[in-house]
């Protein structure tokens, strides 16, 4: 279980994240959505320890995230685009990541599904964008961490490969592990996500189950609901109403009391 407690981050004069508190449910797929520049990537980077929050706390399985980064054993990460060194072979990349995480249980389902053995000797620089994205996915799913963070995971994948990946995400959820996923393809998220966290202008406008969002906004689909949220957010800003009051947070997403696991 990963919890973020009143996370704040400012870059210069820009408040990128403002008091974001979020708890990712165990065994659920949470879709992190929001317009461009809403703070999604910064939030993901804070969870990964790539960016440090100015304020707030990150807890992994009840313990504060350590500076040395050992807590990242609980996390698998798939960035939006794969940029591996072009002169390394696919096998070099896979072996490197595997050796950086010794002793972790290996999950080779996706590697087999994407036939990594067939391209192990190929140089990364010779791969197509889609094949690089498959390697990217295999790296993220190589172990069995309790949380997978997937940033636009199907971007660049052909329909069959995207389908394989989505099936793998569902399998991860069935195993009781959590997934945090971002995508601009709402239909894709709708087919995968149990919960939604909607960020806008660095504030968490909604966080809760998809069904709750649909009933709250009256939307027929996730796309409708998110579009409705964005419209109400814009209208709220035009009317100079404090945007934080746009949609209430679900009770289960309130910051946990100190000392609670």
Partner 1 sequence: MNVVSLVLQAGLRDLSRNRWIVAYTISFLGIAEGLFWFGGTGPQVLLSMLNLVLLVLPLVALVFGTIHVYASREFVELLLAQPVPRRELFAGLYLGLALPLAGAFLVGAGIPFIVHARHGATIGGVVALLGAGVGLSLAFAAIATWIALFTDDRLKGVGLALGAWLAAAVIYDGLVLGAAAAFGNYPLERPLLGLMLANPVDVARVIVLTQLDVSALMGYTGALFERTFGTALGTGIAAAALVTWCVIPLGLAGRRFLRRDF
| Interacting residue with partner 1 among 15, 92, 158, 194 (CB under 8 A) | 92
The site that binds partner 1 (CB under 8 A) totals a number of residues, namely 31
Picking from 210, 175, 162, the residue whose alpha carbon sits closest to that of residue 33 is 210
**Stretch of 23-31, 65-73, 183-191, 228-236 lying at the interface with partner 1 (CB under 8 A):** 65-73
Task: Tell the smallest beta-carbon distance from residue 245 to partner 1 (Å).
Answer: 30
What is the CB neighbour count within 10 angstroms for residue 223?
A: 15
Nearer Cβ to partner 1 (92/223): 92
CA dist., res. 172 & res. 156, Å (int): 22
Look at the block and give the residue holding tokens 């350590």. Answer: 66
Residues 148-207 that bind partner 1 (CB under 8 A): none
Task: Count how many Cα atoms sit within 13 Å of the Cα of residue 158 in the half-sphere of its side chain.
Answer: 6
Residues 44-63 that bind partner 1 (CB under 8 A): 45, 48-52
Calculate the CA 251 to chain-centre distance: 21
Q: Does 70 bind partner 1 (CB under 8 A)?
A: yes
What is the CB neighbour count within 10 angstroms for residue 220?
A: 9
Contact 222, 210 (CB under 8 A): yes
Q: Does 85 bind partner 1 (CB under 8 A)?
A: yes
Nearer Cβ to partner 1 (100/260): 100
Nearer Cβ to partner 1 (124/214): 124
- Kind plus residue range of the DSSP H or E element containing 179: strand 178-182
Contact residues for partner 1, defined by CB under 8 A? 45, 48-52, 68-73, 75, 77, 79, 81-88, 92, 96-97, 99-101, 123, 139
């Amino acid at each position: 279980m990963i919890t973020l407690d009143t996370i704040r981050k400012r870059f210069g004069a820009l408040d990128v994240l403002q008091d974001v508190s979020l708890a990712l449910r165990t065994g659920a797929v949470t879709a992190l959505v929001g317009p461009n520049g809403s703070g999604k990537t910064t939030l993901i980077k804070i969870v990964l320890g790539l960016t440090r929050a100015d304020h707030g706390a990150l807890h992994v399985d009840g313990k504060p995230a350590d500076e040395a980064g050992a807590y990242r054993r609980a996390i698998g990460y798939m960035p939006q685009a794969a940029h591996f060194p072009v002169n390394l072979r696919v096998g070099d990349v896979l072996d490197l990541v595997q050796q950086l995480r010794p002793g972790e249980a290996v999950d080779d389902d996706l590697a087999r599904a994407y036939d990594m053995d067939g391209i192990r000797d190929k140089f990364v620089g010779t791969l197509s964008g889609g094949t690089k994205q498959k390697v990217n996915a295999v790296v993220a799913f190589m172990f069995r961490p309790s949380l997978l963070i997937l940033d636009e995971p199907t971007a660049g994948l052909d329909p069959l490969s995207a389908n394989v990946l989505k099936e793998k995400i569902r399998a991860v959820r069935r195993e009781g592990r959590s997934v945090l996923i971002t995508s601009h393809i709402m239909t894709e998220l709708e087919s995968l996500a149990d919960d939604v966290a909607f960020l806008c202008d660095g504030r968490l406008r909604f966080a809760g189950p998809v069904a709750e969002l649909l009933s709250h906004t009256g939307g027929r689909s996730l796309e409708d609901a998110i579009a409705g949220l964005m419209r109400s957010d814009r209208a709220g800003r035009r009317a100079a109403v404090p945007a934080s009051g746009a949609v209430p947070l679900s009770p289960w997403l309130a910051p946990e009391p100190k000392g609670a696991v």
